[in-house]
Amino acid sequence: MAERAKCEICDRMFKDAHGLAMHNASKHSTNKAIEEESFVSDGLKKNIKVVVIIGVILLGLYWLFSSVSGSTSLPPTDMAGHIESNPSSHVLKEQMDIRVQKHMLEHVDGIDGGKGGVIINYDCKNFECGSDLVEKLEVYAEEYDFVYVAPFKNMPVKIALTKLNRIETLDEFDDLQIRAFIG
């Protein structure tokens, strides 16, 4: 008959040395392996978290950059969200605030009951405008007291003519078409 064996680590008794060996292999010799596996798992989890966080940040930056720099839009043609404010001039060198543009579509220089304005926007950052396009457009603001001329960033066209609820776009300067739109 086999001699009983006692586990020195947990004080359990076993029928024989073989039972003790099996016990030690399953209960005690794997503690270090479990700890190492847990360590690897924790390290792997930490690395995965870092990669996910970096990925989310990069995706956010990509979305922000592409939505700001790559998006195109046309000037407004409605009054929704306008503010009761006027631009400093009929010829602007900086983009007119969208809310102010909407107000000028309603009535020129904020004069109640006045005529609705026409706004000529141009984009010379994304399009080749030539040396005199802006000067040609500014002439309309001098000739007509209800016309505004201003740059507009990231348009899908070079020139956009707007009135209340109406827009016309041009890829090239066309005096007859612009005068017809101004009316």
Residues 105 and 178 in one domain: yes
Statement to judge: residues 22 and 65 lie in one domain:
yes
Q: Are residue 37 and residue 105 in the same domain, yes or no?
A: no
Q: Are residues 127 and 174 in the same domain?
A: yes
Based on the fold, state whether residues 59 and 115 are members of the same structural domain: no
Looking at the fold, whether 57 and 132 belong to one and the same domain comes out as no
pTM: 0.62
* Same domain (yes/no): 53, 105: no
Question: Are both 43 and 105 inside the same structural domain?
Answer: no
Alpha carbons 159 and 129: distance in angstroms, whole number: 10
Looking at the structure, tell me whether residues 158 and 103 fall in a common domain: yes
Total number of residues shown for the chain: 183
- Domains contained in the chain, number: 2
Spatial distance between the Cα atoms of 121 and 102, rounded to a whole number of angstroms:
13
Among 158, 159, 156, 154, CA closest to 178: 159
pLDDT at 29: 64
Q: What is the pLDDT of residue 44?
A: 73
Q: Across-strand partners of 148?
A: 119
pLDDT tens per residue across all 183 residues of the chain = 568 888 888 888 888 888 878 877 777 765 555 555 555 566 677 788 888 999 899 988 877 766 555 567 899 999 898 888 889 999 999 999 999 999 999 888 767 677 889 999 999 999 999 999 999 999 999 999 999 999 999 999 999 999 999 999 999 999 999 999 998
Domain residues for the domain of 17 are 5-69
Is residue 75 a part of any domain in this protein? no
Residue 139 within a domain: yes
What integer pLDDT is reported at residue 140 of this predicted model? 97
Q: Determine, yes or no, domain membership for 122.
A: yes
